[in-house]
Amino acid sequence: MKLFKRLAAGCAALMLLTSCSVLQGLTSNATSTGSNTGTAIAAIYNVLKSTGSIDLSNLMNVINIGKILTGANALTDATTAFTDEFTAGLIQGSSSLVNSGNAAKVISGLKSLAGLDTSAFQAASSKGYAGAPLSTSDKNVDATMKALNGLLGALGK
């Protein structure tokens, strides 16, 4: 009977240790948001690098800009711990396009995007349309694109 109790206690302890290590391996919200933002930044950066401009009639571009703006908004009033985890995800998601040398400038650029009226992009990316509703003649779209270009310029590549 004592042997059975010890085996049961040992199994319970093993299960507890296993579940704790599994929980520690879960990605935090900040890291996940940063990773999604980094992936979108890399995609938009590659479009800009290969074509010289960001085509707002391309739905994938609009969706990626929407993801960048979502990440930017997540940084509004963020704690240092959240920002650090977000940055780690940003670096990972961008496949190191964002790195320790330019991360502070990219985070600063993202925070500047958070202060703009980006409702046109958010609506377009969430509804899945591009083109006519988005025009740089709209002062809010124009301001967002200028800030986004500044952020991409921080990548310095």
The pLDDT score that the predictor gives to residue 128 is 65
**Token pair of 33, please?**
């948001």
Burial class of 3 by CB neighbour count within 10 A (0 to 12, 13 to 18, 19+): exposed
Its pTM stands at 0.77
Dihedral sign, Cα of residue 151, residue 29, residue 36, residue 127:
negative
- Mean pLDDT, residues 30-45: 95
Crossing angle of helices 59-74 and 103-114, rounded to 10°: 90
Q: How much is the average pLDDT of 1-25?
A: 45
Encoding tokens for residue 152? Answer: 């991409």
